[in-house]
Structure 1
Amino acid sequence: MTMRLLNMRIALYARRSTDEHQMASVEVQLQEAQRYVLANGGTVAPDHVFIDDAVSRAEFKKRPGLISLLNAANAGQFDAVIVRDDSRLGGDTFRSGLVIQDLLETGTRLFYYYKNEEVTLDGAVDKFMIAARSFAAELEREKTSQRTHEHLLTKARRGLVVGGRVYGYDNAEVLDGEQRVRVEYKINEEQAQIIRELFKRYADGEGLRSIVKDLNARRVPPPRAGKRGTGSWATSAVWSMLRRERYRGILVWNTREKTYKGGTKVRIARDPSEWIRAEAPQLRIVDDELWFAVQARAQTQEHRESRRGAGRPARHLLSGLGRCGQCGGPMTVTNGKRSYETVKVYGCAYSRDRGKAVCTNTLRRPVDGINNAVAKWISETVLSEELLLDVLQNVRERLAERTTKTTTDLPRMEKEATRLRTEIDRLITALATIDQKPEAVIRAIAERQEELSALEARLRGAKAAPEAIHLELRRMEAEARTRLDELKGILTRKPEQAREVISMLFEGPIKLTPIETPEGKRFWVEGSANLWALLAAGCLKSASPGGHERYCTSKKRRMQGYQMPLPVQILWN
């Protein structure tokens, strides 16, 4: 029995796809991987088990387990990774190979326990085999997707349920004895009453915001939105309901296509010629007269929004980054008054759009005052020489800790290397005295030579680590000092660039909470600064290849251990 994992620090990775319904799939993978490790003389630390559950093989951005694995490998936390097979790492012809390449280039070894195989990139043949397997996995994923889509297409043409729940209807099972034959839509009369009310009020000229505030004030249960939901009505939800043809008895399906771009799932609008439309008069909730009255007004509203430039990029410093400290809703920019002057102000979007039943924070403060205070605090406190030195000292201490641990292992590793060399010498001597069937001895020599080569590589790395770390720290310090000046300059330029700096510097949202002061109500602004982001400021540079974005994202994730709370600031405007 080979002991190819002897004295190695081992990590495990398991992934269950969205189309794999066996709940034990991840557990089985980990159990089998553990058996493989034990059989090959290795051990697994509890904090070196990485999991992605219910994640497609085509997804590469929303993969916390895989990203954590790559970050830990880059930090040198283990020597080898055990995975069931290549399909667990991904199912994209190009991206799967990049993941494997990124992993192996950290010096980490990769093993597939199902095939008892080590993955290498030693030559063109190795690279071709990885690409061929990734191609096969992607092809199988496409075929599965096509079969699923064809099945749903048939159900849609029959007017059956092909998705989740829709407000106004229940999903009713049709049984043949105890066996479910199909699932059909059935009108939910209580919700249908609300839908008719929405259509009537909008057709009569009432605004979406007014309707939503009233629904929330009356505590009318809103449509379910899963993890995205806030338990309240939103103007966007009402707007989509007013445009839904299902309420006039016409089912429309296949309007969008789910696909993967940039390593993550996206929805793409299909050409109207591909849409599936099925008449379903039994599902009608509103009559044609009311329906067309609503659509006539909605088209006018859409024209106005297009002229305003709806959907344009954020232009203000905290747009999309600031959150209401009272309800957690987004902070938005609207027009306000200062004396007789119209100015831009920050305010809670939920309070404005959903009413006091959702959030009572009605405070609005000038954008310029808040932006200037936030930018000044970041420039003077976060982007400071003193803070940079603190960060580098923290890094130096942690790396020194890791180096000490590595050098402590040197005597044990050298002793193991000496033992392997002795065994190889003895086997070579024995080989010279054997007349027949030397295959077993040759195989034993090869196995020990493989272990010795890997161990010697680790020894060379451990001995060179102190000097390498010293040089890396000097390089990081020089780069960070240059970036301090760059970032300070960016904060005074275009808001789009300054917003990118802030999103990189802070973990989580920047909260704006209303408080009472002697001068009246003001916003109390707080957040958590990610100090390590100072050293990754180079990610702001544009014109980079596609892989650079993934590297910067991973690098930012690795910096989560270095944080400092942003001291409370009262912004006097």
Structure 2
Amino acid sequence: MTDLPPIRSNTKPAYIYARFSSAEQAKGYSLERQLSTARSYIESKGWQFADQMTDEGRSAFHGSNRDEGAALFEFEAKARAGHFKNGCILVVENIDRLSRQGPKAAAQLIWALNENGVDVATYHDDQLYRADASDMLEIFGLIIKASVAHDESEKKSKRAKASWDKKYEGIAAGSKKAITQNVPAWLVVTPEKDIIEDKRRVAVVREIFNAYVEGIGLHTIMKRLNERGEPAFSGKATSKGWSKSAINHVLSNRSVLGEFATQQGKHIPVVYYPQIITLDLFNQAEAMRATKSKTGGSSKSQGNNLFAGIARCEHCEGPMGFIRDGGVSRYTTASGEKKVYKSKGHSYLICDAARRGFGCDNKAHTPYRVIEAATLQQLLWATVEEQPDTSNPKADAIRSNLDAALHNIDLKHRQIGNIIDSMAEAPSKAMAARVAALETEIETLQAECATLQKELAIESSAPSTFDDLAELRDLTELLESEDEDIRRAARLRTNASLKRVLDHMTVDRTGKFVVMSMDVGVWEFDRTGQRIGGQAL
């Protein structure tokens, strides 16, 4: 290491790197302090300031400030690509800001930067690690400093973990006091550390859940909120409004049920936050999300295609696309007058791959209205006299797997009890090892049970086939409503119900289409919508 002599400003540009890893440092203006001090330091040395880089909320102890997307990652990549081959200076507060992963990682980083023309200056101790240095004392000094920084970080990490563990134990014991100001966006923390509802935001969350369960897509919900100027939950003045990902985050956030998750994502099985959504409504939304993830389909849909995410090509098994011809035509008469002609147009289903010329020859344009009318009419006719069927095969299968897992847990507990009884008479290391192995197996089974219980709750909350068919009957008259909002909502809800009722729908190159529901029946229709085969189940 050497003291830093002034360098003429026209020789090497100086880049500032600042980083912090925690919200507490952010509130303490860590970045502003680092950047301001670094600028002053550069001026005192007579160097030429080139640019500054920051990594907010990234840990050097875990190395996330060197992951792809981080500012330091980009700087390293430029250095390795020869961007600084004519030399530059990287100015940081201390080695800790670059790496706390131990002496080896820190030395490798500094060495790699030096090898690519980058001097590293630390203003905290006024040291310079030169790219052209040959003094091994610099490397030894760097290793010692990095080792001390790593040890200190490890101590801090352990102290922080112990502190958080104590807070989590309090929550598990029933405490409902806030342990941090960071709570779900629809809640606020009082000066007394009580967690209470933000009434307006809670109403927005409930609106999102209710709309989604009714079949309204993410895009439409997003558009509604933005059009009426509903503030997004980011709380930032620069917020660009609601996005589909933000709405999806609300729908998947179990905090609405009052559940609390640790920083590592582990759920503590108590109601900690105020519960603002019922478990049944949450599970209905989860069932809807599961349906959409399996079938796909655009959330921007206007509801024109009731079979979006359902109809597939008989030949390539790819999705059938919805197209419409006609529309607006503009032309000029012999006298030079410009005219506009609006035709009603016709809608068709066509294999999307064939339409794009991508490996399928099923170019049949099957009239959409024919498919819609024939399918809905057949579904409703087949169930007019049907009695409610409360069975749920999927839920029954999950329940069976859950019962088996619980039975296995009980058996393993009994095995442990028998081994412990035997150990009382003749203890052995083999028996102790077997008990440990059984306990591990029980933990695995308990995790499996937790997953199955969630799946069962979601499946049980999904509407039955009878419920969906009843909804289809109720919505039929609204599918062609003159009120655009009513029509669109009815068609989106119908699409959501059809995704649950229909298991299979294909269209071949002759325009023939097959519709199958494992709970209702299977039917075959020709291009005109005439039924040519199939039966009710």
After TM superposition, the score normalised by the length of structure 2 is 0.43
User: Which has a greater percent of helix?
Assistant: 1
After TM superposition, the score normalised by the length of structure 1 is 0.41
